[in-house]
């Protein structure tokens, strides 16, 4: 994975109830670990989705690699992936881990592959898909053999850290240059949070740029806060509306 630089200057997004976030400035190089820090309700997820081309900013500018936002939102979506975002990447509780992975690999092959890949023999395509799945699981630190029923374990039977790692593995199947992860510290113990941050660091060492939403970020991240003065004023305005 080849990471991308991510920059923002005066970025803001205004919704029906006022500003979700405003005045965001950011500069992070390829392979950086970016922490979007702030309390719940401060616009963290909206900022994450804006930086990945899934929400259109109202003011300011941003860039992800060679692509500018909001002008090139579709291009940014093609080189990025999101994980663990409620309402966007929700896992189906009744489906198994294996079913989720097979479905995503199939979608990736159909919609993300080149014409040359689509014309390869079926057996070869299946083998390559299996290799991609194995690589994504390894990168996300999820070993199906450790689950109660292996890859046949239903999502509803996963522990919170396992569910988060599955969401990461699904996002990694497309080898994104920018990986965006929401709520990395929600419902995790202190030890589990430390493990997740180390996992994200390992992804940056492999080359990807990673942006993660959290309440409190480790010191070694490129930190951007949604609770600066302009952001706080915007949140207050939204609550008064």
What does each of the 241 residues of the chain score in pLDDT, given as a tens digit?
Answer: 689 999 999 999 998 889 999 999 999 999 999 999 999 889 999 999 999 999 999 999 999 999 999 999 999 999 999 999 999 999 999 999 999 999 998 887 665 555 455 566 767 767 777 889 999 999 999 999 999 999 999 999 999 999 999 999 999 999 999 999 999 999 999 999 999 999 999 999 999 999 999 999 999 999 999 986 545 554 455 445 4
In a domain, 1, yes or no: no
**Which residue range(s) make up the domain with 107?**
6-240
CATH number of the domain enclosing 14: 3.40.50.300
Q: How many domains does the chain have?
A: 1
Q: Where are the alpha helices (DSSP H) in 112-225?
A: 115-118, 122-140, 160-172, 190-205
In a domain, 147, yes or no: yes
DSSP state of 46: H
Residue that the structure tokens 């240059």 belong to: 177
- H or E segment and range at residue 90: none
Residue that the structure tokens 């092959």 belong to: 109
CA-nearest of 190, 164, 215 to 40 is 215
In a domain, 76, yes or no: yes
Structural tokens at position 76:
């940014």
């Amino acid at each position: 994975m080849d990471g991308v630089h991510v920059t923002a200057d005066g970025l803001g997004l205004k919704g029906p109830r006022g500003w979700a976030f405003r005045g965001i400035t950011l500069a992070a190089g390829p392979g950086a670990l970016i922490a979007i820090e702030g309390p719940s309700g401060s616009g963290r997820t909206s900022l994450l989705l804006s930086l990945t081309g899934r929400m259109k900013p109202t003011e300011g500018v941003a860039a992800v690699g060679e692509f500018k936002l909001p002008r090139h939102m579709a291009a940014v979506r093609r080189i990025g992936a999101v994980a663990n975002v409620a309402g966007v990447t929700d896992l189906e509780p009744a489906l198994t881990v294996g079913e989720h992975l097979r479905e995503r690999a199939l979608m990736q092959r159909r919609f993300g592959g080149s014409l040359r890949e689509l014309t390869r023999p079926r057996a070869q395509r299946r083998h390559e898909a299996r290799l991609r799945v194995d690589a994504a699981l390894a990168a996300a630190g999820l070993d199906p053999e450790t689950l109660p029923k292996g890859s046949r374990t239903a999502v509803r039977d996963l522990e919170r850290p396992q569910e988060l790692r599955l969401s990461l593995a699904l996002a990694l199947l497309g080898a994104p240059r920018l990986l965006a992860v929401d709520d990395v510290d929600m419902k995790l113990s202190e030890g589990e949070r430390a493990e997740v941050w180390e996992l994200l660091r390992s992804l940056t060492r492999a080359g990807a740029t990673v942006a993660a939403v959290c309440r409190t970020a480790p010191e070694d991240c490129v930190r951007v806060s949604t609770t600066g003065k302009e952001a706080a004023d915007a949140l207050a305005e939204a609550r008064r509306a």
